[in-house]
């Protein structure tokens, strides 16, 4: 082994250690938070309206989770402002991410929720990125999970082994930059599969309907969201769709995942595993919430505190259960920030390979 190869190997191992630490730090938000001037924060927010700008169309998890948050979070924010949700889909949720960074008020009255995969897009130097994820102030995220793919039971494939063996599978996706496209695109490259990815859907809800209407064979999305949200679950329980594969190195224990392979276990080379691991990292902060870098620190801390209080509130959880049995594995703003930093520190060699796959 040459010295250059040795240095590259040490660098990649260091990156993996950083990434593992970032995505496995405790989720709980019990760490002591910085003191805030609640009187000043309350004086600012009293009588105001906070807008959550969601990068996806109505009906998907970004929309559903944000509307739940909007109903309950105001009582935990000093001054008790009203919160409303505005859907701004387009360009794989890039329109929302860019507009909140560049065009919207920078005072804490605008929160964005967009595809976590856009952080990796920035690291790869994707065109159209007009924000810096390292400077954004992260409030928290709703889910720490893995993406999974489902397919119709009457499609040509009975298991993902059929896909590996070359049988056709057509998946509905949003634009590159979100997990619905990036995950299966990386799987195609890492596992040698040839899944056809049909872009153009504005949100997961449209992909679910397209699967139900047989426009496509299936789709990929957050496994926890599929398991707990609306039409996803109805199609699974009705026998219309089934899980085919899940990201990560281990399949979670669940009756609907019996016999479903974890993607990394199918990788035949270290390079393939590196690609799958890197694309999986962002799913640990699925459905993130963020505000502009210029928002005053007191307001950021107040929003972070309110976010965590909401996600641990019994009334909020009861409302989520009534809304379709929705469950959460939330992360606080500090943890989301750590994961973002780890993604932006992905080794250049890995980014170069991913760029060839995702940005051609």
d(CA 163, CA 166): 5
Q: Where are the beta strands (DSSP E) in 90-186?
A: 110-113, 137-143, 147-152, 170-172
pLDDT (0 to 100) of residue 14: 42
How would residue 234 be classed by pLDDT, with cut points 50, 70 and 90? confident
How would residue 33 be classed by pLDDT, with cut points 50, 70 and 90? low
- Closest to 116 (Cα-Cα) out of 355, 339, 352: 339
Estimate to the nearest angstrom the gap between the alpha carbon of 142 and the chain centroid: 9
Q: Write the secondary structure of 297-335 as one string of H (helix), E (strand) and C (coil).
A: HHHHHHHHHHHHHHHCCHHHHHHHHHCCCCCCCCEEHHH
Q: What are the structural domains, with CATH classification, of the chain?
A: 3-143+285-347 (3.40.190.150), 147-281 (3.40.190.10)
- pLDDT (tens digit per residue) in 152-200: 999 999 999 999 999 999 999 988 877 899 999 999 999 999 999 999 9
Work out the angle between the directed axes of helices 270-281 and 3-24 (0-180°, nearest 10). 30
Indicate the helix (H) or strand (E) that contains 246: strand 241-246
CB 142 within 8 A of CB 223: no
Q: What is the mean pLDDT of residues 280-297?
A: 94
Q: Is the pLDDT of residue 224 over 90?
A: no
How would residue 145 be classed by pLDDT, with cut points 50, 70 and 90? confident
pLDDT (0 to 100) of residue 24: 44
Across the beta sheet with 218-222, the strand order is 196-198, 170-172, 218-222, 147-152, 241-246
pLDDT (0 to 100) of residue 325: 73
pLDDT (0 to 100) of residue 205: 86
pLDDT (0 to 100) of residue 149: 96
The DSSP bridge partners found for residue 54 are 87, 113
Q: What is the mean pLDDT of residues 318-336?
A: 88
Q: What is the mean pLDDT of residues 24-47?
A: 73
């Amino acid at each position: 082994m040459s010295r250059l190869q040795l240095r590259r190997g040490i660098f990649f191992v260091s990156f993996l250690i950083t990434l593992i630490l970032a995505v496995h730090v405790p989720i709980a938000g019990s760490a002591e938070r910085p003191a805030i001037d609640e009187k000043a924060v309350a004086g600012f927010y009293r009588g105001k309206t906070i807008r959550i700008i969601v990068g996806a169309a109505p009906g998907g998890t970004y929309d559903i989770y944000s509307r739940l948050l909007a109903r309950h979070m105001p009582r935990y924010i000093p001054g008790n402002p009203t919160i409303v949700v505005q859907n701004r889909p387009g360009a794989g949720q890039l329109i929302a991410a860019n507009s909140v960074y560049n065009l919207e008020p920078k005072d804490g009255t605008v929160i964005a929720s967009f595809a976590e995969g856009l952080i990796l897009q920035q690291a790869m130097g994707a065109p159209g990125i007009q924000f810096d994820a390292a400077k954004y102030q992260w409030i928290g995220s709703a889910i720490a999970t893995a993406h999974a793919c489902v397919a119709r039971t009457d499609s040509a494939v009975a298991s993902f082994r059929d896909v590996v063996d070359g049988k056709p599978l057509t998946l509905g996706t949003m634009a590159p930059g979100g997990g619905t496209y990036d995950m299966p695109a990386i799987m195609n490259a890492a596992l040698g599969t040839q899944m056809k990815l049909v872009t153009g859907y504005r949100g997961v809800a449209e992909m679910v309907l397209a699967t139900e209407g047989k426009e496509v064979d299936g789709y990929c999305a957050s496994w926890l969201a599929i398991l707990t949200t609306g039409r996803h679950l109805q199609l699974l329980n009705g026998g219309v769709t089934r899980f085919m594969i899940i990201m990560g190195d281990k399949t979670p224990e669940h009756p609907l995942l019996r016999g479903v392979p974890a993607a990394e276990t199918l990788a035949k080379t270290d390079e393939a595993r590196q690609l799958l691991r890197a694309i999986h990292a962002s799913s640990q902060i699925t459905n993130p919430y963020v505000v502009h870098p210029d928002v005053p620190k007191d307001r950021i801390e107040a929003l972070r505190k309110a976010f965590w209080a909401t996600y641990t509130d019994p009334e909020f959880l009861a409302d989520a259960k009534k809304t379709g049995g929705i469950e959460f594995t939330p992360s606080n703003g500090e943890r989301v920030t750590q994961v973002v930093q780890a993604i932006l520190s992905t080794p250049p060699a890995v980014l170069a390979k991913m760029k060839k796959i995702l940005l051609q």
